[in-house]
Each structure stands twice: as structure tokens, then as C-alpha cells.
Amino acid sequence: MAHFLFFAIIFILVADFGMERYLALLNIKHSKKSLPEILKDIYDTDKYAKQQDYFRTNARFGMLTSTFSFIVTLLMYALGGFGRVDQLVQGYVQNPILTPLVFFGVIFLANDIIGIPFDIYDTFVIEQKFGFNKVTPKIYIFDKLKGYLLTVIIGGGLLALIIWIYTLTPDYFWLLAWAVITVFSLFMTMFYSEIIVPLFNKQTPLPEGELRSEIEKFALSTGFNLTNIFVIDGSKRSTKANAYFSGLGAKKRIVLYDTLMDTMSNEEIVAVLAHEIGHYKHKHTKFNFLISIPSTLVLFFVFGLILKSDAMAQALGGTTASFHLNALAFSILYSPISLILDISTNVLSRKFEYQADAFAAKNGYAEQLKSGLKKLSATTLSNLMPHPLFVFFHYSHPTLFQRISKLTDSQV
């Protein structure tokens, strides 16, 4: 059995890497196609050359990083590396809760440190070269430290709680762990903007002025409370602009990047805001949260079964079932299922984006949303011609071409 599981793990790793690389290649090929008429006014010749350069630079870099990480991961699984880390940790700590915590801590830290050079190259060389980067070495270091601190406190705390539950009751572990994760994610959905975001960014209520009064007019007409609209200092890290909707109930908020104000006209910002209010009106956050509940339940049910198997630990070079080795084996064996879940989530998310766009269009902002989306694409040098299969697997939003076509249809 351990042999079979071992080969299944290796097969899944290789198949996933092969599939992702194939999709990336399709995407690169497709990006060279000539633009459809409705997208031709987004870039001038120079800017389009720059976009193609940016896209290809990122594609090459993605190929390099994913190949590197694939090789390291494959070697760790194929040569029983995790079993060895386990023995090493066992030599120092032998406690049913502490051993898995230290084990995951070591794996997390090693993985993170290996990734740092790639991350630095991406931020300070690629993003810098194309004029996006605003991150200073100081911000980079503080972000990293704050990230570690959060991982230790939140990740470590949650993990300790879940392992503790497992040591108490292996049979009902799945149900209790599911309840803990569900309550935790509800809490995070509600308070993420108030607890986590302020550690990295400043959020301020939309300041008085022309933009605010235009937004006021629109928000009032749709019944959305203005006190829930915030501006975030995204310009601290990048020139790229964005806007998003988060939270539930009284904790709902729309967050606009300050960089949006430099890029767009007031009317276009209101159109983007109308799109975000569309998400709120259609209760998309609530829906996403609700459908995550049964899928987490299935995940923990399967996880609970797998935790008891000695063969799982042996497939990774261990001897008997242990929380951490079995969890690692599970993370790979479950990945085909989570791939299917991810694809379904993306299909649904793209549907939601169309609904939010339609809400903006219904309120008379189709034209402004079109020009706003075009400007967003232009300033982020985004790829206008992704391959349909790549979109199917990875895009949470419809392509710009699809959104503009749909908005144009809604106008006639």
C-alpha cells in the first residue's frame, strides 16, 4: 500500500507540473495573436511592445520558479526527505502537539527562505524595470517579519488547536476541526479588514470632495452606506490599481486603492464602485462563504480517515502514522480534488463578475466601466489575449474582451 501511495504522490506531482506548464505554454502562444477590434485602443504601439515584454518576462520567470520548486518538491517526496526531517525533529522534541508544530515550522521556514531570492528578483528587478515597484528594502523586510509573526500566531495557534483536537478524539476530529475552521474563517471574513490589513496598509474613509459627492449620490440611490467606503494606500507598494469588496453584514466595506484616483476619472471610479456594490447587492461574499462550508467538511472527513493510515506516513519515508507526515501526504493526494473545486470556484466567480458588471450597467455606468476597465488593464500591462483553457483553469474574472463585449451587449 505504501508503495502504491508513493507512486500516486509522485504521479500527481508530475502530472500537475506537466499540466501547468502546458497551460502556460498555450497562454504564451496565444498572447501573440492580434487583438480584436474592441481592444485595439488600449495600448499604443510602444506600450503594447512593453506589455508583450512584461508578459514574456513574467512567463519566463514563472517557468524558472515553478520548475525549480517542482524539482525541490519532487526530490523531497521521492527521496523520503520529509521522513528525514521528521526523524531530525523527533530527536529534539517528542510531544504529540509540539513535534508536528516544529516539523511544519521547519518546512515552512525552509520553503520560505528558498523562495526569498525569487521574490526579491520579482519585486526589485522585474516590477522595478517596468515601473511598478514602490517597495523599499525597509518595507520588504518589515512585511516579511510581520508575515512571519502572523504565521506563528495565527497559523501556529490554529494548527496547535487542530492537532490538540486530534489527540483528544481521533474519531470525531473531522467534525470538530471543521467547526473550528468554519468559525475561524467566518471571523476572518468579518474582521480581516480591521485586524490584518492595518498591519500592512492605512485605510482611510473616502475624503470630502468632488469624488466623494459623486459617489455619495450613487451610493444613496442604491442604499449602500458611505461610511463603508475606504481608500487604501496601495501606492506604498505598487503603482498598480485595484478595488475590492470584503466583509459580511455590518462589517462590509468597499476598498479603493489610492492609485485608482491617479488613473481614472471620477465617473470611472463611480463605475468601478458600482461594480463592487453589485457584488454586495448580489450577496456574493455570503454565498462564497456558505459554499465553502460543505467543501471544508468533505476535506476534513477525508483528512480524518487518512490521518490513521500508517501507509501514508511510510510513503513519505516515515514508519507509523503521524499527524504531520500524513497531513503532507494528504495535501498531495487531495490536490486533484482541490483542483476540481478551484475550477468550480473560478467558474462561479466569473459568473459573479458578470453579475456585478451588469449591476453597474443597469445603473447607467456601462460606458464608464468599459473605459475604466480598459485603463486598469493598460496601467497594469495585463495580457489581453489569454488562452481560453488557461482562463478556464485560472481566471477568477472573465477576460477584458468578454467583459467589454457583455457590457456592449447590455447597452443595445
Catalytic amino acids? 276, 357
In the complex, what is the shortest distance from the CB of residue 340 to Zn ion, in angstroms, rounded to a whole number? 23
Distance CA 165, CA 232 (A): 39
- Alpha-carbon distance values, 84 to 57, 78, 103, 346 (Å): 37, 12, 11, 38
Q: Are 30 and 55 in contact (CB under 8 A)?
A: no
Window contacting Zn ion (CB under 5 A); options: 15-23, 74-82, 175-183, 356-364: 356-364
Window contacting Zn ion (CB under 5 A); options: 136-144, 205-213, 322-330, 354-362: 354-362
In the complex, what is the shortest distance from the CB of residue 353 to Zn ion, in angstroms, rounded to a whole number? 5
In the complex, what is the shortest distance from the CB of residue 345 to Zn ion, in angstroms, rounded to a whole number? 14
Using the minimum distance from each CB to Zn ion, give the nearer residue, 127 or 353: 353
Distance CA 409, CA 118 (A): 43
Cell readout for 201 is 496598509
Window contacting Zn ion (CB under 5 A); options: 29-37, 235-243, 353-361, 373-381: 353-361
Distance CA 99, CA 167 (A): 13
Tell which positions 195-214 bind Zn ion, by CB under 5 A: none
Comparing C-alpha atoms, which of 277, 254, 274, 278 is closest to residue 266?
274
Tell which positions 95-154 bind Zn ion, by CB under 5 A: none
Comparing C-alpha atoms, which of 331, 235, 245 is closest to residue 287?
245
The amino acid that residue 272 corresponds to is V
The amino acid that residue 102 corresponds to is V
Distance CA 372, CA 368 (A): 6
Q: Are 271 and 372 in contact (CB under 8 A)?
A: yes
In the complex, what is the shortest distance from the CB of residue 279 to Zn ion, in angstroms, rounded to a whole number? 6
In the complex, what is the shortest distance from the CB of residue 397 to Zn ion, in angstroms, rounded to a whole number? 7
In the complex, what is the shortest distance from the CB of residue 263 to Zn ion, in angstroms, rounded to a whole number? 17
Distance CA 121, CA 74 (A): 24
Window contacting Zn ion (CB under 5 A); options: 17-25, 113-121, 293-301, 347-355: 347-355
In the complex, what is the shortest distance from the CB of residue 210 to Zn ion, in angstroms, rounded to a whole number? 25
Window contacting Zn ion (CB under 5 A); options: 87-95, 183-191, 195-203, 346-354: 346-354
SS3 state at 253: strand
In the complex, what is the shortest distance from the CB of residue 39 to Zn ion, in angstroms, rounded to a whole number? 19
Using only C-alpha atoms, the chain has a radius of gyration, in whole angstroms, of: 23
The amino acid that residue 62 corresponds to is G
Please state the φ and ψ torsions of residue 399, each to the nearest 5 degrees: -70, 160
DSSP state for residue 10 in the 8-state scheme: H
Using the minimum distance from each CB to Zn ion, give the nearer residue, 133 or 399: 399
Strand blocks (E) in 199-341: 203-205, 229-232, 243-246, 253-257
Judged by CB under 5 A, the residue of 165, 232, 356, 384 near Zn ion is: 356
Total site size for Zn ion, rule CB under 5 A: 2
DSSP state for residue 238 in the 8-state scheme: B
Using the minimum distance from each CB to Zn ion, give the nearer residue, 312 or 407: 407
Distance CA 369, CA 364 (A): 10
Distance CA 121, CA 126 (A): 7
Using the minimum distance from each CB to Zn ion, give the nearer residue, 296 or 346: 346
Using the minimum distance from each CB to Zn ion, give the nearer residue, 85 or 231: 231
Using the minimum distance from each CB to Zn ion, give the nearer residue, 7 or 244: 244
Using the minimum distance from each CB to Zn ion, give the nearer residue, 13 or 356: 356
User: Counting runs of H as helices and runs of E as strands, what totals does the chain give?
Assistant: 19, 4
Tell which positions 258-277 bind Zn ion, by CB under 5 A: none
Window contacting Zn ion (CB under 5 A); options: 78-86, 88-96, 174-182, 349-357: 349-357
Using the minimum distance from each CB to Zn ion, give the nearer residue, 77 or 352: 352
Q: Pairing mode, if any, of strands 229-232 and 253-257?
A: parallel
Q: Which residues of the chain form contacts with Zn ion (CB under 5 A)?
A: 353, 356
